[in-house]
Amino acid sequence: MLNKKLAACLLAAALPFAAFAANDAALSKEQLEVASKLRDQALEKSDAYSLVESLTVEVGPRFPGTEGDVRAVAWATEKMQALGFDRVYTEQIDVHRWRRGHVHAEVVAPYPQPLVATSLGYSAATPKGGITAEIVEFADVQALEAADPETVKGKIAFINKRMVRTRTGEGYGPVVGARSRGMRIATEKGAAALVIRSVGTDSDRFAHTGMMAFTGVDNPVPALALSAPDANLVEAMLKRGKPVEIKISADNEMLGDGPSFNVIGELRGREKPDEVVIIGAHLDSWDEGTGALDDGAGVAIVMETARLLAQLPERPRRTVRVILFGAEEIGLVGAKQYVEAHKDELDKIVAISESDFGAGKVWRFDTGFPEGKLGLADQMMQVLAPLGIERGNNKSSGGPDSSVFYAQGVPAFRLYQDGSDYFDYHHTPNDTLDKIDPENMKQNVAAWIAATYLLAEMEETLGQLPTAK
Amino acid sequence: MLNKKLAACLLAAALPFAAFAANDAALSKEQLEVASKLRDQALEKSDAYSLVESLTVEVGPRFPGTEGDVRAVAWATEKMQALGFDRVYTEQIDVHRWRRGHVHAEVVAPYPQPLVATSLGYSAATPKGGITAEIVEFADVQALEAADPETVKGKIAFINKRMVRTRTGEGYGPVVGARSRGMRIATEKGAAALVIRSVGTDSDRFAHTGMMAFTGVDNPVPALALSAPDANLVEAMLKRGKPVEIKISADNEMLGDGPSFNVIGELRGREKPDEVVIIGAHLDSWDEGTGALDDGAGVAIVMETARLLAQLPERPRRTVRVILFGAEEIGLVGAKQYVEAHKDELDKIVAISESDFGAGKVWRFDTGFPEGKLGLADQMMQVLAPLGIERGNNKSSGGPDSSVFYAQGVPAFRLYQDGSDYFDYHHTPNDTLDKIDPENMKQNVAAWIAATYLLAEMEETLGQLPTAK
């Protein structure tokens, strides 16, 4: 049933929507008009920027299982309560904890000079006194994988692959294996340590940290990333033909398991409270920046979206659930444990998405809808297109955390942000508030509120994906 | 006398130079044509980039009095010998030595989080255990100077002034006092320490180091710079109205005096070897970057200029002396001691300049010539203008090291580089080779070889400036 009261309240003027045949019309003309109005209001007045400012200034780094993480959970809970959610609660998750120690790296020979490096996530410590060894260079992780162990044994394996800058971030896939798999391979081949060129697109003297697979690796070797200029430096030395010897030290520490939390806020559905649209982001961040782009911006965008929806005279038909996932950075831990804990309720999730790609403008609308429901996406595009958003594909899992739900058959969508500079800052100390343009945040919220409203308000649901159990 | 042999050798075609009255014609038509030819050859074939690549890769940081400095002196000496100079020699200078220790900074309250900071040059160490104190903010160094000591006593004075980006770098003057004078004032007022917003134009998480006046200050307090994003963070916390307490520690160390060197290479003048055109740069660098822009680029530009001049069939009429000054960063030490050691020969210096403003294109030609000799500058502009260089003013002292000579009456000139992004990298770890565009280096050498050739070849000298002793 059309919510006429709400439509009348918001509607200022009739907007020119394309006519759809009745059997395609998942969304009514009036629903689209309300969504357009919400979009325009958000574009003008939303203030997600203040939320990410608050999070980065008052909390800052919030690595899973740290005091910063505890403060972030408290911040999110209090903030959601103040913003007008109907229900705010946390769900505990279990995380591996780790402490980054001081790291030091330098070229010992033939041209002694210091290097800027950082430990990859959960890297082992070096022995006291560090590791001094010759570098062996590999073009990519596959080259290390194919290497004769004799060429690597006792040496420091150096994977030196550059990442390509793109708007979509698709340059990430071909390089991230160096970080995620390199340490295991280096360990198995008897290397003394792994060093990689940072997975990033900048040419600044920041090393990019990030997660690697470490469970089940016996006696893992230390694993470091060099900043791009430092990788260039080592590369230039190697090109001169003499052996290059470096020294690294890192006093990292594994701390055992501990708790973290998913923080959840809900606007209870007006008619179908047990049917849910999930909009998410992750609350945790890497430890060296203040997690502004990754993922303070996303946290702020979905919180502000819900705050504005909460100001409507009536709740949308379905429940809108904001989930601020914990421990995304260390392996989608919050999402995985959420899906496990709620596996019997997944068919009640109408759709899921998350904002986790920085603070650039949304430029594309991707979906992971059942094939028969793409008419809905086309209708949604009528409201999104005026924001400069184009229709993308139907292959999206929604984002990292959403993909865990999507794999279980939950329809997903993605408001794809322009990530051209996202990997300049990703997982570095330089991920700070000043990288966010408040105007871009307004455009994001405008897109989010339109999409969220329509999915929460539409007559029928999408059903589940054929990949469902 | 015109060097007809040389002109004939280089001259491919007559070039269209404006006619000058005989009494203005410091430079002949043929001299200008040779200079144009040299310019065009340099634009096409010069390779200063390889020199700065070599210096940054094979030496890297070269803070005065360190092992890196010793290696830089050896590098410069060997390189100049290989490049075809007639004479290469060093002159010892005396420098204060200092070791940067590990620095740590964090907000303790009300929002605990780490800060990115660096020690200013020659900063005192903190007591063991660091200093924890409340921050008092000042808009600029003048505000600190005017402050009642009671408001500062025992607290950490924080000078929070932003630098304005300009092509000329003139935004530097209004802010650098915070760095150069702030510590002395903070000490005199009984502050526990000085912290400043970095003197820089970037918004990256690099703190900018740099020199401060420290001699004659009794019990100097530690002095740190915060990166711009960290200064923003502290500012945002202060705006919330609660006292902001930070903890800093730094285990720097004064090491006593030691030697460094000016490295000098000469092309001996064909006719007037005792008359000298000096083209300089500084060999030393700050310790955290590899000194690519500051001042490896300048070193490379003037060395390459001389290398190409050395390939002419005949030497220019006068001696061209390349001086790679030592210890510029810590107070123009090499230049001052050179001028003192050679004070009886200053009237033999026809003109001086230096390249010390990064690796941007030259866009302006400034002079510090005697007023009666500006016709020469106009003539030189005929060769420089095609490089996109405009005529500037006659108030230039040539640059930091040159200014010491200029103050003694030596005519100076400046090939002003575009410094729009110079202070993004200045005195940070991020001053690395990747910030240099090889094409810009060619344009620089083209300008330098034209100017240097003309000044070394012209018939008459400029005389001394009226400010001379």
A6: pLDDT strictly greater than 80: no
A349: pLDDT strictly greater than 70: yes
Residue A106 near chain B (CB below 8 Å)? no
Between residues 210 and 249 of chain B, which touch chain A (CB distance below 8 Å)?
Answer: 228-229, 232-233, 236-237, 240
Q: What is the pLDDT of residues A180-208, one digit of tens each?
A: 999 999 999 999 999 999 999 999 999 99
CB contact under 8 A, A435 and B232: no
Residue with tokens 């001053």: B431
Q: Which residues of B touch A58 (CB under 8 A)?
A: 111
Q: Which residues of A touch B429 (CB under 8 A)?
A: 116, 205
A18: pLDDT strictly greater than 70: no
> What is each CA distance from B213 to B101, B149, B397, in whole angstroms?
19, 20, 22
B340-348, long-range: CB < 8 A, 24+ apart: B341/B91, B343/B408, B346/B405, B346/B408, B346/B409, B346/B410, B347/B409, B347/B464, B347/B468, B348/B274, B348/B275, B348/B276
Decide if A5 is inside a domain: no
- Average pLDDT across chain A, whole number: 95
Residues 6+ positions from B281 with CB-CB distance below 8 Å: B295, B298, B299, B301, B302, B324, B325, B354, B355, B356
Q: Which residues of B touch A204 (CB under 8 A)?
A: 204, 430
Judgement on whether residues B357 and B443 belong to the same structural domain of the protein: yes
Judgement on whether residues B76 and B157 belong to the same structural domain of the protein: no
B24: pLDDT strictly greater than 90: no
- Which pairing describes strands A318-325 and A253-267: parallel, antiparallel, or unpaired? antiparallel
Q: A117 pairs with which residues across the strands?
A: A226
Q: What is the mean pLDDT of residues A443-459?
A: 98
Phi/psi region, residue A399 (left: phi>0; alpha: psi -120 to 50; beta: rest), is left
Residues 6+ positions from A11 with CB-CB distance below 8 Å: A30, A33, A34, A37
Could you tell me if A97 and A287 are in contact, meaning their C-beta atoms sit under 8 angstroms apart?
A: no
Could you tell me if A48 and A362 are in contact, meaning their C-beta atoms sit under 8 angstroms apart?
A: no
Nearest-Å Rg of the Cα atoms of chain A is 24
Helix, strand, coil distribution of chain B in percent, nearest 5: 40, 25, 40
Decide if B194 is inside a domain: yes
Q: CA B111, CA B242: separation in Å to the nearest integer?
A: 10
B325: pLDDT strictly greater than 90: yes
B154: pLDDT strictly greater than 50: yes
Decide if A264 is inside a domain: yes
CB contact under 8 A, B229 and A430: yes
CB contact under 8 A, A229 and B432: yes
Q: Which residues of A touch B70 (CB under 8 A)?
A: none
Of A251, A277, A308, which residue constitutes the final position of a domain? A251
Determine which of A58, A59, A71, A113 to mutate to test the interface with B (most B C-beta atoms within 10 Å).
A113
Of B231, B251, B271, which residue constitutes the final position of a domain? B251
Q: What is the pLDDT of residues B191-224, one digit of tens each?
A: 999 999 999 999 999 999 999 999 999 999 999 9
Dihedral angle at the C-alpha atoms of B110, B116, B122, B125, nearest 10 degrees?
Answer: 50
Q: Which residues of A touch B202 (CB under 8 A)?
A: none
| A111 → closest Cβ in B58, B206, B435 | B58
Could you tell me if A183 and A223 are in contact, meaning their C-beta atoms sit under 8 angstroms apart?
A: yes
- Least Cα distance to A133 among A198, A196, A191, A186 occurs for A191
Q: Which residues of B touch A237 (CB under 8 A)?
A: 57
Domain span at residue A149? 101-251
- Least Cα distance to A53 among A235, A245, A303, A276 occurs for A303
Residues 6+ positions from A92 with CB-CB distance below 8 Å: A259, A260, A261
Shortest distance, CA A115 to any CA of chain B (angstroms): 10
DSSP-based three-state secondary structure for A440: helix
Comparing alpha-carbon positions, the chain B residue that sits nearest to A54 is: B236
Alpha carbon of residue A30 to chain centroid: 34
Judgement on whether residues B62 and B120 belong to the same structural domain of the protein: no
DSSP string, B150-165: HHHTTSEEEE--PPPP
Q: What is the mean pLDDT of residues A332-358?
A: 98
Q: In this structure, what token pair is assigned to residue B431?
A: 């001053």
Judgement on whether residues A311 and A376 belong to the same structural domain of the protein: yes
- CB contacts < 8 A, A to B, total 86
Judgement on whether residues A68 and A121 belong to the same structural domain of the protein: no
Q: What is the mean pLDDT of residues A30-58?
A: 98
- Least Cα distance to A448 among A414, A400, A405, A418 occurs for A414
Lowest mean pLDDT among A102-116, B79-93, B453-467: B453-467
Query: How much is the pLDDT for A1?
Result: 42
CB contact under 8 A, A113 and B290: yes
| B60 → closest Cβ in A56, A111, A428 | A111
Residue A437 near chain B (CB below 8 Å)? no
Shortest distance, CA A116 to any CA of chain B (angstroms): 9
CB contact under 8 A, B60 and A113: yes
Residue A313 near chain B (CB below 8 Å)? no
Decide if A352 is inside a domain: yes
* ipTM at complex level: 0.94
Query: How much is the pLDDT for B467?
Result: 67
CB contact under 8 A, A205 and B111: no
Determine which of A430, A431, A436 to mutate to test the interface with B (most B C-beta atoms within 10 Å).
A430
Decide if A230 is inside a domain: yes
Judgement on whether residues A366 and A404 belong to the same structural domain of the protein: yes
Of A219, A251, A283, which residue constitutes the final position of a domain? A251
Q: In this structure, what token pair is assigned to residue B435?
A: 């910030």
Q: CA B220, CA B187: separation in Å to the nearest integer?
A: 6
CB contact under 8 A, B229 and A432: yes
Q: In this structure, what token pair is assigned to residue B281?
A: 């740069």
Q: What is the pLDDT of residues B174-187, one digit of tens each?
A: 999 999 999 999 99
Q: In this structure, what token pair is assigned to residue A38?
A: 């919400």
Shortest distance, CA A465 to any CA of chain B (angstroms): 44
Q: CA B400, CA B356: separation in Å to the nearest integer?
A: 8
Query: How much is the pLDDT for B177?
Result: 97
Comparing alpha-carbon positions, the chain A residue that sits nearest to B239 is: A57
CATH of the domain at A90: 3.40.630.10
Q: CA B268, CA B352: separation in Å to the nearest integer?
A: 16
DSSP-derived secondary structure letter, A165: P
Decide if A15 is inside a domain: no
Query: How much is the pLDDT for B395?
Result: 97
Determine which of B52, B55, B57 to mutate to test the interface with A (most A C-beta atoms within 10 Å).
B57
Judgement on whether residues A218 and A286 belong to the same structural domain of the protein: no
A418: pLDDT strictly greater than 50: yes
Burial class (CB within 10 angstroms; exposed 0-12, middle 13-18, buried 19+) of A345: exposed
Residues 6+ positions from B356 with CB-CB distance below 8 Å: B281, B282, B294, B295, B298, B328, B399, B400, B401
Judgement on whether residues A339 and A447 belong to the same structural domain of the protein: yes
Residues 6+ positions from A321 with CB-CB distance below 8 Å: A264, A265, A266, A276, A277, A278, A279
CB contact under 8 A, B111 and A57: yes
In the sheet with B349-354, reading across from the earlier edge strand, the strands are B87-99, B253-267, B318-325, B272-282, B349-354, B412-417, B362-368, B390-391
- Which pairing describes strands A131-138 and A156-159: parallel, antiparallel, or unpaired? parallel
Query: How much is the pLDDT for B341?
Result: 98
Q: CA B179, CA B182: separation in Å to the nearest integer?
A: 6
In the structure, what pLDDT confidence band is assigned to residue B21 with cuts at 50, 70 and 90? very low
Alpha carbon of residue B404 to chain centroid: 13
Residue with tokens 């190697």: A238
Q: Regarding predicted confidence, which is higher, B361 or A24?
A: B361
Q: Which residues of B touch A111 (CB under 8 A)?
A: 57-60
Query: How much is the pLDDT for A8?
Result: 46
Residue B437 near chain A (CB below 8 Å)? no
Could you tell me if B356 and B400 are in contact, meaning their C-beta atoms sit under 8 angstroms apart?
A: yes
The number of CA neighbours under 13 Å toward the Cβ of A131 is 24
In the structure, what pLDDT confidence band is assigned to residue A26 with cuts at 50, 70 and 90? confident
In the structure, what pLDDT confidence band is assigned to residue B261 with cuts at 50, 70 and 90? very high
Query: How much is the pLDDT for A15?
Result: 44
Q: Which residues of A touch B53 (CB under 8 A)?
A: 236
Question: Is the bond preceding residue A148 a cis peptide, omega within 30 degrees?
Answer: no
Lowest mean pLDDT among A12-21, A263-272, A315-324, B401-410: A12-21
- For chain A, what is the domain count? 2
Sign of CA dihedral B409, B415, B420, B425: negative
Give exposure, B337-365, as e/b (b: 16+ Cβ within 10 Å).
bbbeeeeeebbbbbbbbbbbbbbbbbbbb
Residue B58 near chain A (CB below 8 Å)? yes
Judgement on whether residues B232 and B261 belong to the same structural domain of the protein: no
| A429 → closest Cβ in B68, B116, B434 | B116
Residues 6+ positions from B340 with CB-CB distance below 8 Å: none
| A236 → closest Cβ in B57, B59, B233 | B57
Judgement on whether residues A214 and A323 belong to the same structural domain of the protein: no
| B57 → closest Cβ in A53, A206, A233 | A233
Decide if A8 is inside a domain: no
Decide if B466 is inside a domain: no
Q: What is the mean pLDDT of residues A63-91?
A: 98
Q: What percent of chain B has pLDDT over 90?
A: 94
CB contact under 8 A, B205 and A232: no
Query: How much is the pLDDT for A466?
Result: 87
Shortest distance, CA B24 to any CA of chain A (angstroms): 50
DSSP-based three-state secondary structure for B224: strand
What angle in degrees, to the nearest 10, is found between the helix axes of A29-45 and A438-457? 160
Comparing alpha-carbon positions, the chain B residue that sits nearest to A234 is: B57
Query: How much is the pLDDT for B25?
Result: 60
Q: CA B176, CA B212: separation in Å to the nearest integer?
A: 9
End-to-end CA distance of chain A, in Å? 31
- Average pLDDT across chain B, whole number: 95
The type of residue at B54 is S
Comparing alpha-carbon positions, the chain B residue that sits nearest to A228 is: B434
Between residues 263 and 302 of chain A, which touch chain B (CB distance below 8 Å)?
Answer: 289-290
| A237 → closest Cβ in B57, B229, B428 | B57
Give exposure, A226-251, as e/b (b: 16+ Cβ within 10 Å).
bbbbbbbbbbbbbeeeeebbbbbbbe
Judgement on whether residues B110 and B89 belong to the same structural domain of the protein: no
Query: How much is the pLDDT for A25?
Result: 60
The number of CA neighbours under 13 Å toward the Cβ of A317 is 20
Determine which of B116, B287, B430, B437 to mutate to test the interface with A (most A C-beta atoms within 10 Å).
B430
Judgement on whether residues B171 and B316 belong to the same structural domain of the protein: no
Residue B320 near chain A (CB below 8 Å)? no
Q: What is the mean pLDDT of residues B138-144?
A: 98
- Which pairing describes strands B412-417 and B362-368: parallel, antiparallel, or unpaired? antiparallel
